[in-house]
Amino acid sequence: MSRRSVRFADLGTWTYQRAWDFQEAIFTEVVDRKTANRKLPEAERVPTQDTLLFVEHPHVYTLGKSGDFGNLLADDERLKAIGAEFYRTNRGGDITYHGPGQLVGYPILDLDEYFTDIHRYLRTLEEVIISTLADYDLSGDRSPGETGVWLDVGTPFARKICAMGVRASRWVTMHGWAFNLNTDLRYFEYIIPCGIKDKAVTSLQRELGRPVDEDEVKARVAGHFARLFEVDLAETPVDGLLGA
């Protein structure tokens, strides 16, 4: 059986709203295609297309649909002073921060072509980051009951290096992960990250004691994503992702 191809684009720096709207447009095309296919004989169905987006956002805090607004510790005046925006989103999870030096990944996948299991999907995304950390001789891990990737789980020094929150409808995914590379961790002081009060946040830069080559990390993350989902990534121009 041939491997499924996933369109891949590194968007560079986009505002959160712009990237969210772009995700929603791709997501809607996939859902609409699946709906249309159900009305067609199998021989006439058009395959859905999967997409993986990498992006970096300007300073922004986002709150999941079931998150607690009280975990945002900055008022409007403080947000303006630190140059950050705030959005309520339709993803799972609580509050998190996105900003420069962070690798945000948004997979828009038709899980009917992989496995219809959101827990397995999240564990696979976590494994992508865990595998990348291993490339830098860091031992990433899962924390029971807490989505994302951590270091030193089960110790007083447990700290989160990658947050995750997704949305899925009709087994199509969107949103994804936020992996701290050269991130300014001071911005996490204005929230209770993911609603977890007793654990710290870290970055690859802090753990290694040096700035990291973000392009190198992106290549490693993309490689592990392709390996774990058993797909081929096809670099695609941004203007080729919609209406195809």
Q: What is the model's pLDDT at position 73?
A: 87
Residue 123 domain flag: yes
Whether 188 shows a pLDDT value over 60: the answer reads: yes
Q: Give the DSSP H or E segment for 235.
A: strand 231-235
Domain containing 46 — which CATH number?
3.30.930.10
The answer to the question of residue 242 being in a domain is no
**Residue 62 included in any domain:** yes
Main-chain phi, psi angles of 70, to 5 degrees: -65, -15
The answer to the question of residue 228 being in a domain is yes
In a domain, 224, yes or no: yes
Span 94-102, average pLDDT: 94
Instruction: Provide the whole-model pTM.
Output: 0.94
Count: domains in the chain: 1
Contacts 24+ apart (CB under 8 A), 167-172: 167/90, 167/91, 167/92, 168/111, 168/118, 168/121, 169/27, 169/31, 170/31, 170/34, 170/35, 171/110, 171/111, 171/112, 171/116, 172/27, 172/30, 172/31, 172/34, 172/48, 172/108, 172/109, 172/110, 172/111
pLDDT of 196 higher than 80: no
Distance between CA atoms of residues 219 and 143, nearest Å: 26
Cβ contact 96:163 at 8 Å:
yes
Per the structure, the complete domain to which residue 81 belongs is given by 4-236
pLDDT over 60 (residue 168): yes
**Centroid of chain to Cα 199:** 20
How sure is the predictor about 93, in pLDDT bands with cuts at 50, 70 and 90? confident
Please indicate, yes or no, if residue 179 is contained in any of the structural domains.
yes
User: Which residues are annotated as catalytic?
Assistant: 194
Residue 164 phi, psi dihedral angles, 5° rounding: -140, 145
pLDDT category at 30 given cuts 50, 70, 90 is very high
Please compute, for residue 241, the number of CA atoms within 13 A of its CA located in the half-sphere on the CB side.
26
Element (H, E) at 233: strand 231-235
Rounded to whole angstroms, the Cα distance separating 180 from 217 reads 11
Please tell me the predicted confidence (pLDDT) of residue 65.
Answer: 85
Please give the backbone phi and psi of residue 169, each rounded to the nearest 5 degrees, phi first: -140, 130
Each residue's pLDDT tens digit, 40-56: 998 999 999 999 999 99
pLDDT of 191 reads 82
Are the CB atoms for 22 and 9 separated by under 8 Å? no
Which tens digit of pLDDT belongs to each residue from 197-231?
Answer: 667 899 999 999 999 999 999 999 999 999 999 99
What pLDDT sits at residue 146? 87
* pLDDT 10s digits, 104-137: 999 999 999 999 999 999 999 999 999 999 999 9
C-alpha to C-alpha distance for 176 and 164, rounded to whole angstroms: 6
**Mean pLDDT for all residues in the chain:** 93
Q: Are 153 and 167 in contact (CB under 8 A)?
A: no
What share of the chain has pLDDT > 90, as a percent?
Answer: 82
| 243 within some domain | no
- Structural domain contains residue 244: no
